[in-house]
Structure 1
């Protein structure tokens, strides 16, 4: 179920970038592929490159912080399982 939600969100980013990119003279296929693979980071960079800098930086920073938190939680979980909970 979680992977389906992630797939739908990535697909939504890709569709938005595919539709919006020609308005700013950008390659629609390139940005759609980047949006599908990299998600919110690609969306933030796209906003920065198209002049919506505040929204772009907010999205990019929040996405990076989210990914860092996920990585830290995963490292802590591995450390707890390796060393035990005591």
Structure 2
């Protein structure tokens, strides 16, 4: 269920980029593929490049921070799993 939500969100971002890119003379296929693969980071960079800088920077920074937090939690969980939960 959780992975399907992520796929649906990535598809929504890719569709948005596919529709909006030609309005700013950008390649619709390039931005749709980037949106599908990289998700919110691609949308943030797209918004920065099309002049909506404040929203673009907010989305990019929040996405990067969430990715860093996710990686940190995976590292902590792997460490706890390998040590049996004891410090």
TM-score normalised according to structure 2 size: 0.98
Report the counterpart of residue 26 of structure 2 in structure 1: 26
Please, which runs of 5 or more residues in structure 1 have no aligned partner? Answer: none
Quote the offset at 1:19 in angstroms: 0.3
Moved over 4 A (4+): none
SS at match of 2:85: coil
**Distance between the aligned counterparts of 2:21 and 2:85, measured in 1?**
50
Equivalenced residue count is 86
Aligned-residue RMSD, C-alpha: 0.4
The reply on whether 1:75 has 2:67 as its aligned counterpart is no
Please, which runs of 5 or more residues in structure 2 have no aligned partner? Answer: none
**Distance between the aligned counterparts of 1:6 and 1:84, measured in 2?**
31
**Distance between the aligned counterparts of 1:78 and 1:4, measured in 2?**
25
Residues 1-86 of structure 1 mapped to structure 2, 5 A cutoff: 1-86=1-86
Quote the offset at 1:73 in angstroms: 0.3
SS at match of 1:12: helix
